[in-house]
Structure 1
Amino acid sequence: MPVFVPDPSAASPSDWAACRATIRAGSKSFFAASMLLPPKVRVSAYGLYAFCRLSDDAVDAAGGNRGASLARLERRLTAALAGRPADHPADRALAEVLARHTIPEALPRALLEGFAWDLEGRRYDTLSDLAAYAARVAGTVGAMMTLVMGVRDADALARACDLGVAMQLTNIARDVGEDARAGRLYLPRNWLDAAGIDPGAFLADPRLSPGLQRVVADLLTAAAELYARAEPGIAALPLGCRPAIRAAGTIYAEIGRAVEVNGLDSVTRRARVSGAHKARLLARAVLPASRAPGLSAPPLPETAFLVEAVLHHPVLASRRLPPWWNVSGQVVRVLDLIEVLEERDAFRRSAPS
């Protein structure tokens, strides 16, 4: 009787578990929203996030050896695309996700290009320039997630990219002080000029000012417009995937509102959304929503290349694994059940007898 030998480059149950641990530790907001995804989609989302997190961390830790760090990431991506991933859970998971969902190379390459812009310390003169950066580091993720959910429609992809860019603009508005103290400044230079803020002086001594508050407010307005543009795209997704994506957008939009509640002070304060409030937003995301108009709006000029990359990428028939070997969804279900049982046991042990 022939013996089946698993491909050592294939992602294992322990690899998917490691990816899940990465998103749980790295982003409470994304982890919370991901729990609303169908199990098979959730597993692939973990794989995508793990590689994005690994790449982001590698860039942050590059220090003076930035070129070498990026080159290593490029080589790892090339290997994953070729089906020969590096010996790391995130690489094996990424290789499987890229192949399983026929994700064009241009999308993860654009993501690394955005990280390269970070390493260069690139500044952005206009909101359009900033949107081009956001398209790479976040719009790419929105597009890849849309493919993971089995949707390749141009309009749905455009709206997913809108959502990714909106989230990135929210991140930037929230992290102005933190970024400045790390030597990074993403706010559009022409907005800073209009507010009377010298970029060099601000980086040397980040301080809140009325001018900076106006810039942060304008950035949140731009993000709000993109959240509204993205909303019609949710109805174009599979029914089971809609609550998670709605939850992710809602939670991030709420971060923007928390910045406003903080008096638009992103220098000395960090906006947060409490766990209880996130739970309420997650519960609300499960409720059916009315279909919003605007699905067919053209993509942003800065994200159009991502949509085109998908439309021009041939979709080949996927090689299906035997049902008994495709255990990713079951693994996540078991992990979730174990987590619930462990928490229940811990509660019982701590309860007075």
Structure 2
Amino acid sequence: MSAESDLAECRAAIRTGSLSFHAASKLLPAKVRDPSLVLYAFCRLADDAVDEGKAPVQAVLHLQERLDRAYAGQPFNAPIDRCFTRMIEAHALPRALPDALLEGLAWDAQERQYHSLSDVLAYSARVAAVVGVMMCVLMGVRDRHRLARACDLGLAMQLTNIARDVGADAALGRIYLPRDWFAAAGVNAQTFLQRPTATPEIRAMTARLLQQADRLYLRAEPGIADLPLACRPGIFAARHIYAGIGRAVRARGYDSVTGRAHTGRARKLGWLALSGLRAGLSTIQPRMATLYAVPAPEVAFLVDAAAGHAPASRSDTLIDALTRLRAQDLQRRNAQIGLDQRSA
């Protein structure tokens, strides 16, 4: 298969699987847009395999093998894997970054619980902020200040997703709102999972999470304004489109249990136009001091990795997560063998 036909497969995956990113990507320059589509396609399909597949543990272990082969220059014979391998080679993508995504997906497969806002941010760092950092690498951005602001944007977008999907996640048996917020509000998390209801307490938690997202969107803005000029409209677009999802949740009275907030095509077009305007204005506006704010502690390891200061080996936390998943997979296989033997 040719590189162009492989890329067409990645475009198709994003067109159907990530409408918000597909809209924002239209404003990126081609030299960044094409590798970013590959990146998002790879991340999207990996996430779907864990979230929607029947065997999330096996999906994570398979992703580890895909990454191993991609970094060895011997990808699986699939369009997205071939494109991802080319992207790694062309942009010298540090292995620690997709490994962080792997760890976040491993946490999902383990059905990990998040007890504090810091826990939620640590998860969001791995499944969302890391994508922002990898996007910076594709743009040739490696300085710590802009990387930290890219992390802020990724965190804000993930918190927005969590706020939008409270009901959908509960239907899958998952809670991403901090568990200590449930305790403080006098709400039993297990009872909520058994019967998700948009109570005033759940709405208040959703509002609180979106307040955190808004703070991070604002902190991210000076970093967007300091990106290469041709990249600014696309990233401003991602910022406004995802923040718009948060506003749609607010318009529903913070009820994301009985339904899911949506933004229409007309609104997205308006945000795309606004993003082009803001990118133009950014060329004449002074840098904001918040560009130089230190990274959130939960994302500091991502900034280190992209800036070239990450250890060569996998992190202890990732190794531990993968070891646990392999043990879980072995236990499942042995149990299946026992069932097969008894039924023979």
SS for the counterpart of 1:302 is helix
For 2:104 and 2:127, locate their aligned partners in 1 and report how far apart those are by CA, in whole Å: 5
For 2:72 and 2:37, locate their aligned partners in 1 and report how far apart those are by CA, in whole Å: 20
Does the aligned pair in 2 maintain the 1:195–1:214 contact within 8 Å? no
Alignment-derived partner of residue 347 in structure 1: none
Superimposed CA distance per residue, residues 181-201 of structure 1 (whole angstroms, 9 cap, x where no aligned partner)? 111111101111111211100
Does the aligned pair in 1 maintain the 2:49–2:56 contact within 8 Å? no
Alignment-derived partner of residue 38 in structure 1: 29
Please tell me whether residue 248 in structure 1 is matched to residue 233 in structure 2: no
SS for the counterpart of 2:292 is coil
Please tell me whether residue 189 in structure 1 is matched to residue 179 in structure 2: yes
Does the aligned pair in 2 maintain the 1:104–1:313 contact within 8 Å? no
Superimposed CA distance per residue, residues 247-301 of structure 1 (whole angstroms, 9 cap, x where no aligned partner)? 0011101110110110000001211111001101101100123444311100000
What is the CA distance between 1:212 and its match in structure 2?
0.6
For 1:54 and 1:79, locate their aligned partners in 2 and report how far apart those are by CA, in whole Å: 17
For 1:303 and 1:105, locate their aligned partners in 2 and report how far apart those are by CA, in whole Å: 16
For 1:61 and 1:202, locate their aligned partners in 2 and report how far apart those are by CA, in whole Å: 21
Does the aligned pair in 1 maintain the 2:152–2:219 contact within 8 Å? yes
Select the residue among 149, 160, 170 that pairs with 1:170. 160
- How much identity, in percent, do the aligned residues show? 55
Greater helix content: 2
Letter in 2 for 1:21: A
**Where do 1:143-292 residues align within 5 Å?**
143-287=133-277, 288-289=280-281, 290=285, 291-292=287-288
Tell me, which stretches of 5 or more residues in structure 2 are unaligned? 311-344
Does the aligned pair in 1 maintain the 2:116–2:180 contact within 8 Å? yes
Please tell me whether residue 142 in structure 1 is matched to residue 135 in structure 2: no
Does the aligned pair in 2 maintain the 1:54–1:90 contact within 8 Å? no
Q: What is the TM-score with the length of structure 1 in the denominator?
A: 0.84
What is the CA distance between 1:71 and its match in structure 2?
1.1
Letter in 2 for 1:154: R
Distance 1:260 1:241, change over 3 A: same
Runs of at least 4 residues of structure 1 off by over 4 A? Answer: none
For 1:293 and 1:257, locate their aligned partners in 2 and report how far apart those are by CA, in whole Å: 27
For 1:53 and 1:148, locate their aligned partners in 2 and report how far apart those are by CA, in whole Å: 17
**Where do 1:1-353 residues align within 5 Å?**
12-63=3-54, 65-287=55-277, 288-289=280-281, 290=285, 291-312=287-308
Distance 1:89 1:313, change over 3 A: farther
For 2:45 and 2:272, locate their aligned partners in 1 and report how far apart those are by CA, in whole Å: 27
